[in-house]
Structure 1
Amino acid sequence: MKQPGEELQETLTELDDRAVVDYLIKNPEFFIRNARAVEAIRVPHPVRGTVSLVEWHMARARNHIHVLEENMALLMEQAIANEGLFYRLLYLQRSLTAASSLDDMLMRFHRWARDLGLAGASLRLFPDRWRL
């Protein structure tokens, strides 16, 4: 006959990672009910041996924030580049509408492209009733 502790141990070893995750998702109040236990939980750490669950969670949050800050910096750089391109295109539009002829318009367009550092540029003209 098995001792009550042995049965409990067998039941606990039958739990797998998915069951633990499912339980925690279904019972978010677990961490409130067991605040002291959460503080005592240790997570393996490759450098420091083990860290508390709270430290582990904070480290993950810091890493996530760092990645988000890098992404935001890249987005800001792209936005600045897009703003510059927008104003250059605005200048081109003003310049092209001020052209006195088609040849003048093409000359202005190619000068704009050259000043922008483009290897080449072309215009595609459509009739008044064009379709995609």
Structure 2
Amino acid sequence: MLITPADLKAYSVFDVVKERPDSLLEQDIIEAEVEIESIVGHDFSEYDPLPEKAKLALLKMAQFFALVNSDESIVKGYKSEKIGDYSYTLGDGSVLRKPDVYGLLKEYIIESSTNESIKFRMRAL
């Protein structure tokens, strides 16, 4: 892993993240790394040390996944829920969104080449 649960706990101001078990934070960090890799087109394993901008982007994304994964009501979009007598209050329409880390990562993005040509030859039998 490029960041540790201790790094994430030190960065976050949310108690729910700070109190989350390290084993679950490790899974949140893995999710964040996959998300960051999909944005930049590569992993950061060749960087030693990890660039500060990339580390901050990972911390922001890992914190997001830790918050979402720790609270089922966030995922459902509810403000409150009651199982007995089946009542719930829907959210106000606001959506929890992934943090925008493009600005932090733009210098590390590898553009994929889609201009490759494919030749196909056919012959009569």
User: Which structure has greater helix proportion?
Assistant: 1
> Which structure would you say has the larger Rg?
1
TM-score > 0.5, shorter chain as reference: no
Give the TM-score normalised by structure 1: 0.23
Higher RCO (CA 8 Å, separation ≥ 6 residues)? 2
Give the TM-score normalised by structure 2: 0.24
